Amino acid sequence: MDDAAAQIMLDVTATPARVPCPLCDVQTTRVHSRYTRTIADVPWGAYAVRLQVRVRKFFCDHPACPRQIFTERLPTVAAPWARRTLRLAQHLSALGLALGGQAGARLAARFQWRTDPDTLLRLRRVAPTPDVSAPQGLGVDEWAWRRGQRYGTILVNLEDHRVLALLPERSAERVAAWLAQHPTVLVICRDRRALYAEGIRRGAPHAVQVVDRFHLVKNLREAVEAFRHNQRAALQAAAARTAQGLTLVAGPGPVTSL
């Protein structure tokens, strides 16, 4: 990335003179001092952009407020104490969500966004959880913290295929407690574990339990395999008679002398 940087100086003095205190919400006009914040923004062409924002500090006029001096907020520019703008943070958070740390950092370098894998993952962890509609169709299955040793429960919204919750263990109590907090669920697609069936009966007795296609085909395969295993002798006899009948019908084949 080019080391050249575009410096933009912003002065927010033109904002309204009466500023509310972020703690007690009492508006004040008494300016304590001014200072400059340096905030990274999305690059412009080959230039890194840094905003030098000159902001004000105010006295709080409320006598009971524990914060006597506060700094005015920039809700449309940057979060409090942030070193990057909101739009740059949103871009990096989207990269971390889509690609993860290492791959996201490599793509960010192509966009000339200076970051590292740990920063992408940290931004993703502190990002607010998006609002989701009340689920009506739910998928319940197990997932592995560590395969063969520790398992949990995954709950998926079947309407938009989004993960709603990751329960730390697979138990009927956990599933029942989660369903009790979401009474809108009407149809639940689950695997064959009896503990999930019991948890659904406790937490959502009105919901219809169905088996997904994967477990349905698996049940059919296991039933056919069990039947064939019990009928091995009959299958072998039938195979022998079929081979003998085909041999008699075909007759001896032509012999070619060498």
Give me the residue spans of the domains in the chain. 1-82, 85-125, 137-214
Compute CA 121 distance to the chain's CA centroid, rounded to the nearest angstrom. 12
Compute the average pLDDT of residues 41-60: 86
- Say whether pLDDT at 3 is over 60: no
CATH architecture of 137-214: 2-Layer Sandwich (3.30)
Compute the average pLDDT of residues 216-232: 85
Residue type, 32: H
What would the pLDDT profile of 122-178 be if each residue is shown by its tens digit? 988 888 776 667 888 999 988 888 887 888 999 999 888 888 888 988 889 999 999
At residue 1 the predicted structure's pLDDT band, cuts being 50, 70 and 90, is very low
What would the pLDDT profile of 74-128 be if each residue is shown by its tens digit? 888 888 888 899 999 999 999 998 888 899 999 998 888 888 999 999 988 888 7
Question: Is 152:166 a contact under the CB 8 Å cutoff?
Answer: yes
Please list, in sequence order, all residues whose beta carbon lies within 8 angstroms of the beta carbon of residue 66, skipping any fewer than 6 positions away.
23
* Residue owning tokens 């149809």: 187
Sheet holding 208-211, edge to edge: 162-167, 150-157, 137-146, 187-190, 208-211
Distance CA 77, CA 56 (A): 15
Question: Is 179:204 a contact under the CB 8 Å cutoff?
Answer: yes
Residues facing residue 69 across a β-bridge: 59
Which H or E element spans position 55? Answer: strand 47-59
The sign of the torsion formed by the CA atoms of 167, 169, 172, 177 equals negative
Distance CA 141, CA 125 (A): 24
